[in-house]
Structure 1
Amino acid sequence: MKSFLSIFLFFFIANTFAQEQFVVYFNSDKFELTKSENKKLNEWMNLHIKDKIVAINGYTDEDGTSGYNDTLSKKRVNYVFDIIKEKVPFREDFESRSYGENFNQSKNKAENRKVTIYYIEEKDLARENEILGIKEEIVVAVDSTSEVIEETISDDAPLEERIAKTKEGKTLILKDINFYHNTFGVMSESRPTLYDLVYIMGTNPRLVIQVQGHVCCNTDVTDSRSIMLSRERAKAVKLFLVAKGIPAARVSFQGFGSSMPLYPIPEQNEEERIANRRVEILIVKK
């Protein structure tokens, strides 16, 4: 038998204990710290050089467009990360999140323009896996050549983890990617997943993907309109990534219409239709 540690941090920020937080604040529309906040951050670093950082989250107030705030919150995360990356240890499965204005905001706008660092103190590092809810799993060898059963990837795991665990040549579903009815217009609720994908591709420059579009409800798999719609939806995802700085050569796209349903067509209910009407990514190269 062989054992390994699952890196899935199940609701680690909200639900774990003995995990500490440190917050720095920003002026409106700025991603650089003021002198006083920068001093506060440096003082914190000097006191915590033997602790371990788990995550860094960025936030903004509601002023400005959602897209602008998503970008601003990410810049704030990157600014703080660049200052502390070689001064305080990070977990190997460290995560960063950029929430823009999409979080439970304070009525005081100044309190919303922030970056929060989540970390574990040196005295608790012996228990860090327990604190983060990381459980030991067992992988059983299936024959004498030590081949092991392929690890199951939870659909509820963060996208970054799902991509990390997906092998080249395999596909995974991009959750919560939705389009306006019978169009390739991406709905605003898709933005968090798309920005997650931008971040993942930006921090993994070797990653090459193909975006694959699928539609539901059409028994004629040769219908050119369905194929074109699925292709344009996949293309819309690529264009979003390219617009955010991802090289076009690292993202291709393809539409399969209704030829590859997860559930038989006609579907029996809306849940099956939603499952068939999906966007997937093929991991071409890692």
Structure 2
Amino acid sequence: MGIKRLLVFITVLFLQESDAFSQEFIQTKCLDSLSVFFKFGSYEIENPQRLIARCSRIKATSGKIKITSYTDTIGSQKSNQKLAAKRLNSVSKILRSTSLSSFAIDSINKNEQRDLKKKLNDSTFRRVDIVIYSVENKFKLNSPINLDINFVSETYKIVPESSGNLKTLLSILQDDSTLNVQLNGHVCCRPGQELSEQRALAVKKYLVSNGIESNRIECKGFSNSIPLFPRTDIQNVHKNMRVEVVFIKKETH
């Protein structure tokens, strides 16, 4: 094979793999959004039937719900954080009793956090915001997808702020028991076979700790042998330092 043909072949292969790694897990669509307001210092929902009736209008069979809790600034921040958590729990319990009980719930406790540029009355922050999404799987079977997880440098400790796709992966495996996964661990720079395996195992540990059967998950490490991007800057380094998931349909006999 001539040099030019070899370069073209490598370029095409790289583009094909980049496209495979860039595909998305899911497609989401906002179905509804509303706020539940609370009295001062309270976490009791005054009219739970209103929330139940609102949820009953939604016909989607799978999805996710994002709930965000706020408080006023009266009292200590510690007590407000606890109050916001109790409000999240109250709303979650109601949602779990509705037709959307199978939807994944993502809870965010913002308590006293707010945009200081907007001068709003404290009472407007005694609330929980609810956003309901439908979720449609968009992944291809037997094709690697980057989970976009960040790790503490030279460790297999997952940075909590980058774990959003872990919840999505967990939800997919909970909803479809006919799926298995292969987790591929990679490091970015120096060879690190053991570390690449440990990163895949860290994802497996999360899934198993949340109820996914261990025998549905296979882990492999690839050291630094399959970079997605040239190591020209720190952004590319982080993109190469990754765990991918491959969805595999269980064999039926």
Query: TM-score over 0.5 for the alignment?
Result: yes
Q: Amino acid of the residue matched to residue 128 of structure 2?
A: K
**1:39 corresponds to:** 49
Alignment counterpart, residue 174 of structure 1, candidates 139, 147, 152: 147
**1:21 corresponds to:** 33
Q: Amino acid of the residue matched to residue 39 of structure 1?
A: Q
Structure 1 residues 42, 82: CA separation in 2 closer, same or farther (over 3 Å shift)?
closer
Q: Does 1:98 align with 2:118?
A: no
Asked if the contact 1:207–1:250 (Cα under 8 Å) also holds between the matched residues in 2, the reply is yes
Higher relative contact order (CA 8 A, sep 6+): 2
- 1:227 & 1:74 partners in 2: Cα distance? 42
The runs of 5 or more residues in structure 2 that have no matched partner are 1-25, 71-79, 115-120
Asked if the contact 2:147–2:244 (Cα under 8 Å) also holds between the matched residues in 1, the reply is yes
Alignment counterpart, residue 237 of structure 2, candidates 273, 277, 284: 273
3-state SS of the aligned residue for 1:229?
Answer: helix
Q: Amino acid of the residue matched to residue 100 of structure 1?
A: I
- 1:95 & 1:271 partners in 2: Cα distance? 34
Alignment counterpart, residue 59 of structure 1, candidates 68, 92, 111: 68
Cα deviation, 1:62-81, whole Å, max 9, x if unaligned, reads 736xxxx7xx9699557415
Structure 1 residues 35, 229: CA separation in 2 closer, same or farther (over 3 Å shift)?
closer
3-state SS of the aligned residue for 1:100?
Answer: strand
Cα deviation, residue 195, structure 1: 2.3
Asked if the contact 1:58–1:74 (Cα under 8 Å) also holds between the matched residues in 2, the reply is no
**1:153 corresponds to:** none
- 1:171 & 1:117 partners in 2: Cα distance? 30
3-state SS of the aligned residue for 2:183?
Answer: strand
Structure 1 residues 63, 262: CA separation in 2 closer, same or farther (over 3 Å shift)?
same
Structure 1 residues 263, 116: CA separation in 2 closer, same or farther (over 3 Å shift)?
closer
Q: Amino acid of the residue matched to residue 174 of structure 2?
A: G
Structure 1 residues 98, 277: CA separation in 2 closer, same or farther (over 3 Å shift)?
same
Q: Does 1:229 align with 2:195?
A: yes
Cα deviation, residue 200, structure 1: 2.6
Q: Amino acid of the residue matched to residue 83 of structure 1?
A: T
Cα deviation, residue 172, structure 1: 0.5
> Where do residues 1-286 of structure 1 align in structure 2 (5 Å cutoff)?
8-9=27-28, 13=30, 21-24=33-36, 34=44, 36-42=46-52, 44=54, 49=57, 56-60=65-69, 63=81, 76-77=91-92, 79-80=94-95, 82-85=97-100, 98-101=106-109, 105-106=113-114, 111=125, 114=128, 116-118=130-132, 161=136, 164-175=137-148, 177-218=149-190, 223=191, 226-264=192-230, 267-285=231-249
Cα deviation, residue 194, structure 1: 2.0
Cα deviation, residue 230, structure 1: 0.5
- 1:110 & 1:245 partners in 2: Cα distance? 38
Size of the aligned set, in residue pairs, is 203
Cα deviation, residue 115, structure 1: 5.4
Range that drifts further, 238-247 or 73-82: 73-82
TM-score by length of 1: 0.55
Structure 1 residues 268, 59: CA separation in 2 closer, same or farther (over 3 Å shift)?
same
TM-score by length of 2: 0.62
Asked if the contact 1:217–1:273 (Cα under 8 Å) also holds between the matched residues in 2, the reply is yes
Asked if the contact 1:77–1:98 (Cα under 8 Å) also holds between the matched residues in 2, the reply is no
3-state SS of the aligned residue for 2:163?
Answer: helix
- 1:104 & 1:250 partners in 2: Cα distance? 42
Cα deviation, 1:205-248, whole Å, max 9, x if unaligned, reads 32211111111123xxxx4xx01001001101110111122222
- 1:43 & 1:262 partners in 2: Cα distance? 48
3-state SS of the aligned residue for 2:232?
Answer: coil
3-state SS of the aligned residue for 1:260?
Answer: coil
**1:4 corresponds to:** none
Give the alignment's Cα RMSD to 1 decimal.
4.1
3-state SS of the aligned residue for 1:216?
Answer: coil
